[in-house]
Structure 1
């Protein structure tokens, strides 16, 4: 039993701060003495398969942290309208479209919503509705997405704000 325990300890790699080890030495010593003298039984061991993400964390093989690109623009096509610069905002959780742009698309109706948007300046805005399942073309890919339509002034240079959901497509190209 003792040799099996020693072999297990040889395979064990734990990252614990040295100060924590020193503070808990009496506790560990008592625990090890009870195990070695068979006063305390170790429970049965089980193997556990970890998914790639957790395995990377345990083995300290984390991906390199990249810089935050901030906000940037992407060209998008909405039905018959091409927009050269759609603002892709990493902080945004919604796709936002001005009412004037919605009218250019000539869709019939919006789905009513009870959503209240609170902007950075803490002002509350009530959307006109939600445009559901709009096909958006980015490069050669099509996405069906929902847009919140808001009665606001349209920025001619960047009329649409798309959320971080479009960023998950980077692996497709």
Structure 2
């Protein structure tokens, strides 16, 4: 009985008080992916999937055939995709200019022969976001590119 009496007199800090009163913020999903509207020279607007977990930029062969700006460099890499399947890229294309809003970015793509979702054919890696100095609001699901003026 003495222990029970002691518990009644225990002061609660803000954390425990919030737990008891159910004032904790509710969990939200992890928006690790964003859609970015981008343009190429010979192609109308398309959506690119900016995936924070992706380490390379992927472009399907069908899209590369449409814009066909540069020669492909052969590659011997193998890719393990999210579904654990293995893909053998056709090549790598360097210094492709991608327009996002009013910004132009030079980036490299690994060209793969796969059936891409026609609504979102490109996959951009996290380094693309770093190049564009992207600010990511995870709660709102917004992506903002920042223009930095150099002297």
Question: Normalised by the shorter chain, which TM-score bucket?
Answer: 0.5 to 0.7
Answer with 1 or 2: which has the greater Rg.
Answer: 1
Unpaired stretches in structure 1, ≥5 consecutive residues = 1-66
Q: Deviating runs (4+, > 6 A) in structure 1?
A: none
1:136 and 2:110 matched: no
More helix by share: 1
Higher relative contact order (CA 8 A, sep 6+): 2
1:154 counterpart residue number: 116
1:90 and 2:64 matched: no
Q: Secondary structure at the match of 1:76?
A: strand
Q: Secondary structure at the match of 2:127?
A: helix
Unpaired stretches in structure 2, ≥5 consecutive residues = 1-28, 135-144
- Aligned residue pair count: 108
Q: 2:73 aligns with which of 103, 108, 111?
A: 111
TM-score of the two chains, using structure 2 as the length reference: 0.65
Q: Secondary structure at the match of 1:153?
A: coil
2:86 counterpart residue number: 124
Q: Measure the CA separation in 2 of the matches of 1:83 and 1:161.
A: 15
More strand by share: 2
In structure 2, do the counterparts of structure 1 residues 107 and 84 end up closer, same or farther at CA, with 3 Å as the change threshold? closer
* Cα-to-partner distance string for 1:36-94 (whole Å, 9 max, x where unaligned): xxxxxxxxxxxxxxxxxxxxxxxxxxxxxxx8432110111122313332111111010
TM-score of the two chains, using structure 1 as the length reference: 0.57
TM-align CA RMSD: 1.9
